[in-house]
Amino acid sequence: MKDHRKGDVKVILFNEDVSLAYDMYVALELAGFSVSLASSQNDLEQMIAAHGHAILILDLARCEGEWLLVIRRLALHDQLRIIALTVSEDAQERLEAVKAGVDVYLNKPVSIDELKAVIRRVVTRLPGASLVLALDVGRQLLMISGGVTIKLTTLECWFLACLAQAPHRRASRQEVERFLWDDDLTLTDKRLDVVVHRLRKKLEAEAPELGNVVTTHRSHGFSLLRETHIRELGGAFTTGRGFREEEMLRGSVSMHRTS
């Protein structure tokens, strides 16, 4: 499956407000996206045909009252994903837009930060797309295709490292606990649940496009989503972390080996 990176996917802007479109163009280009401005529907069609994969940011006000027909026609392009912008808060309009082929429906005004996050999420819906995660163990960073980098605590980092190197990216609770704490019985049974809960909250807040990347299997353990690939960059793995519970709860422990 292909990893669609920011520069590989064309972002096409088709906005009513020329000044706003230009501001979006500059901000998205600075964020690393490849962006084009469409001046007319004919220009828009040519841009879509010219690019293998594209994300269209479509201002419904540009469609002159025929936005539903325009969306249905655009949705015929399998390689295209549509983010619709509108001032309307009509729930029925939203429903019709989604049925017609809109991937994301946003109310104006929309912040550039929200738009960038939505684009990163929509990229994963392109044909053949997959989530690619790079885990830098040495610096405790999780880097996500699309440009997001998340700082991890030591336990969060080693939890992901454990799943990354486990067969089929799946490990039991006992295997994870042994990897993190070397069966230190002085810690509570809830220690792992705390780590996983905090990691999920962090990913949800900083990278909503990931969805629930860590799956819990009741009574069996944890796994990473199959379409997620993790590359381990630096930092050799050793078991027997020897963390103390109070350090783990602060979420700011330092990593050390035990003999």
Q: Is residue 17 predicted with pLDDT exceeding 60? A: yes
| CATH number assigned to the domain comprising residue 17 | 3.40.50.2300
Mean pLDDT of 29-40: 87
- Sequence-ordered list of residues with C-beta below 8 angstroms from that of 143, at least 6 positions apart, any chain: 133, 134, 135, 136, 149, 150
What whole-number percentage of the chain has pLDDT above 90? 15
Q: Which domain holds residue 149?
A: 131-250
Give per-residue pLDDT as tens, 42-95.
888 888 888 768 889 999 888 877 888 889 988 888 888 899 998 888 888 888
What per-residue confidence (pLDDT) applies to 256?
30
CA–CA dist 88, 121 (Å, integer): 23
Peptide bond into 109 cis (omega under 30): yes
pLDDT value of residue 234:
53
152 and 236 together in one domain: yes
| Residue where a domain terminates, one of 68, 98, 123 | 123
User: Is 161 within the bounds of a domain?
Assistant: yes
108 within domain boundaries = yes
Residue 259 belongs to some domain of the structure: no
pLDDT tens readout for residues 226-257: 556 665 555 444 433 433 333 333 333 332 32
Report which secondary-structure segment, H or E, holds 134.
Answer: strand 131-136
- Contact residues for 181 (Cβ-Cβ < 8 A; gap 6+): 187, 191, 241, 242, 243
Residues 198, 225, single domain; the answer is yes
Q: What is the pLDDT of residue 4?
A: 47
Range picked from 11-15, 147-151, 218-222, 250-254 for highest mean pLDDT: 11-15
- Within a domain: 135: yes
pLDDT score, position 58? 92
Per-residue confidence (pLDDT) for residue 181, from 0 to 100: 87
Residue 120 vs residues 21, 33, 55, 210: alpha-carbon distances, Å: 19, 10, 10, 9
Domain count along the chain = 2
State residue 231 phi and psi, 5-degree precision. Answer: -100, 130
Residues 135, 83 within the same domain: no
* Non-local CB neighbours of 194 within 8 Å, separated by 6+ positions: 248, 249
Rounded mean pLDDT of 145-168? 86
* Residue 229 exposure: Cα atoms within 13 Å on the Cβ side: 9
Q: Which of 81, 106, 123 is the last residue of a domain?
A: 123
pTM over 0.75: no
pLDDT tens, position by position, 153-163: 999 999 999 99
Using the 3D structure, point to which of 65, 92, 123 is the last residue of a domain: 123
Q: What is the CATH number of the domain that holds 155?
A: 1.10.10.10
23-37, 131-145, 176-190, 212-226: range with highest mean pLDDT: 23-37
